[in-house]
């Protein structure tokens, strides 16, 4: 080979190597900067826990958690579905606003708060079949179901009680009503309606399509209005995490609607109330929780 040809080949080889290096650097830069490349390589995905999840992309981190899988639970037994053990806690973020009477104006006067429910005592002295659970509720700016004056938000502590067996679950605010419900459940285990004012919060088997009464003065209907209705099983993303196969339970009337999300093995993870008129709407959702299993 002539000296001039050898020199020319050497220069071309160097140029080719430089070109390959430049191309490699450009590819790396594209992956780091261009979202489409990052999503193609599964380095970036939507953050589903933010209100504007469909508008913003965030880099995946080690704190990301997939949908939480609940263990195998007997859907015919509420004692398995709702993990009520001493020391268990659920903390919820609360929001409330006034829904205007027309659809033109946006909701106004928003208020925000937080509350925690803690299992403090369990009494099963009546029967092995009936469980009485004392719950302490504490927080700031939340809706007090027991001693609410109007629609004003509550701050401080209060006591509520859950009564449940394998078939039904009730929520009450007084000891007198607790023991009345417990005695009635032992005397009439097949009748989940205790009285004209006491109806169950949950009834097994918990499954899509399940219906149970919510009002004493309204006879059974052919539709799902004015009674609790398990509408569907859904996956839900909340500040506390992402949960699979939760039950979306509805109570619809002609004037308002109440939606609850129950995740077996976790309990209540969210509730939302909406009134078709000028009245306060609210929503609360699970911020964090600690399930204590003996």
pTM: 0.72
Instruction: Give the span between the Cα atoms of 242 and 179, in whole angstroms.
Output: 37
Q: What is the pLDDT of residues 34-79, one digit of tens each?
A: 444 444 444 433 332 333 333 222 222 223 344 554 557 888 888 8
Instruction: Give the span between the Cα atoms of 89 and 286, in whole angstroms.
Output: 11
The residue with greater pLDDT, 30 or 259, is 259
What rounded mean pLDDT belongs to the chain? 77
Q: Are 287 and 92 in contact (CB under 8 A)?
A: yes
Q: What is the pLDDT of residues 269-289, one digit of tens each?
A: 999 998 877 677 899 999 999
CA–CA distances in Å: residue 18 to residues 8, 9, 25, 144: 16, 14, 11, 71
**Token duo for residue 6:** 């050898």
Tell me the Cα Rg of the chain. 28
Mean pLDDT of 95-107: 66
pLDDT at 3 over 60: no
The 3-state DSSP class for residue 291 equals coil
Give all strands (DSSP E) within the chain, no chain letters.
Answer: 44-46, 57-59, 89-99, 108-123, 131-142, 154-164, 168-172, 202-203, 211-213, 227-238, 241-252, 256-263, 267-275, 279-290
**Domain residue limits, the chain:** 3-59, 78-290
Biggest CA pair distance of the chain: 110
**Closest to 75 measured CA to CA, from 262, 289, 293:** 262
Worst-scoring range by mean pLDDT, 62-71, 110-119, 186-195, 240-249?
A: 62-71
**Model pLDDT, residue 142:** 86
Q: Are 48 and 66 in contact (CB under 8 A)?
A: no
**Reported confidence tier of residue 207, pLDDT bands at 50, 70, 90:** very high
CA–CA distances in Å: residue 259 to residues 161, 191, 229, 239, 275: 21, 24, 10, 18, 12
**Model pLDDT, residue 40:** 40
pLDDT at 9 over 70: no
Alpha helices by DSSP H, the chain: 3-33, 35-40, 78-81, 175-187
**Reported confidence tier of residue 262, pLDDT bands at 50, 70, 90:** very high
Domain covering 78-290: architecture = Beta Barrel (2.40)
**DSSP per residue, 1-45:** --HHHHHHHHHHHHHHHHHHHHHHHHHHHHHHH-HHHHHHTTSEE
* Sequence-distant (≥ 6) Cβ neighbours of residue 135 within 8 angstroms: 117, 118, 119, 120, 159, 160, 161, 162
pLDDT at 101 over 80: no
């Amino acid at each position: 080979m002539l000296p001039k040809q050898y020199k020319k080949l050497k220069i071309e080889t160097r140029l080719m190597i430089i070109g390959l290096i430049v191309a490699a650097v450009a590819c790396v830069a594209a992956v780091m900067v261009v979202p489409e490349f990052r999503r193609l390589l599964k380095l970036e995905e939507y953050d589903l826990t933010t209100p504007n999840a469909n508008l913003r992309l965030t880099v995946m981190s080690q704190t990301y958690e997939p949908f939480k899988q609940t263990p195998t639970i007997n859907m015919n037994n509420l004692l398995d579905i709702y993990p009520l053990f001493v020391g268990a806690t659920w903390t919820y973020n609360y929001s409330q606003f006034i829904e205007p009477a027309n659809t033109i104006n946006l909701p106004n006067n928003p208020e925000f708060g937080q509350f925690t429910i803690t299992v403090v005592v369990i009494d099963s002295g009546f029967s092995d079949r009936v469980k009485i659970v004392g719950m302490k509720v504490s927080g700031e700016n939340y809706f007090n179901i027991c001693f609410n004056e109007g629609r004003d938000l509550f701050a401080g502590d209060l006591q509520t009680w859950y009564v449940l067996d394998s078939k039904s679950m009730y929520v009450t605010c007084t000891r007198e009503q607790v023991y009345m419900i417990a005695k009635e459940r032992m005397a009439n285990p097949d009748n989940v309606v205790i009285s004209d004012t006491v109806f169950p919060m949950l009834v097994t088997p918990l499954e899509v399509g399940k219906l149970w009464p919510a009002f004493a003065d309204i006879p059974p209907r052919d539709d799902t209005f004015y009674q609790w209705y398990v509408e569907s099983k859904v996956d839900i993303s909340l500040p506390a995490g992402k949960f699979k196969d939760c039950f979306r339970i509805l109570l619809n009337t002609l004037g308002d609607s109440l939606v609850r999300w129950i995740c077996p093995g976790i309990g209540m993870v969210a509730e939302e109330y909406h009134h078709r008129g000028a009245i306060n709407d609210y929503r609360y959702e699970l911020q964090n929780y600690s399930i204590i299993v003996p």
